[in-house]
Amino acid sequence: MKIFPVLSLFFSLVLTSCATVAREDIRELKLYGMIIDNFCAAQHKEDIDEFSKTYSKDKALNCTLGYAFYSTSGIREFDSESNEKITRYLRDKKSELNAGIKCYELNNKLHLVEIIIPER
């Protein structure tokens, strides 16, 4: 009967160490750019520079397909958890589409850690 607690402890340690190893290769990114909805980002991939000059927060708030981040490194989609954070952020009257973000990449999508509001 003493073997069950020992085995249980052993397997929990193994699982914890595997999770730690899997997370070690994830690094935090700091990017500066523009929040844009996925639909508009897909439609304007070729002319995103020009389109971004006329893009508004109202358009972003009408989004139902999630958000992406447009920066010098291109357009990158956010994961679903991040989309919820961005929606809450955009509803704030002080929010801006141009912002800095702290995030990490997971499964080819950005996972938002923090939105950094530009200082005025």
φ/ψ (deg, to 5) at 98: -80, 120
3-state helix, strand, coil in the chain (%, to 5): 45, 30, 25
pLDDT in tens, 24-39: 567 899 999 999 999 9
- Average pLDDT in the chain: 84
- DSSP, collapsed to helix, strand or coil, labels residue 73 as coil
Give the residue extent of every domain in the chain. 26-116
pLDDT in tens, 46-77: 999 999 999 999 999 998 899 999 999 899 99
How high is the pLDDT of residue 24? 52
Rounded Cα gap, residues 79 and 111, in angstroms: 6
Place of tokens 């995103």: 48
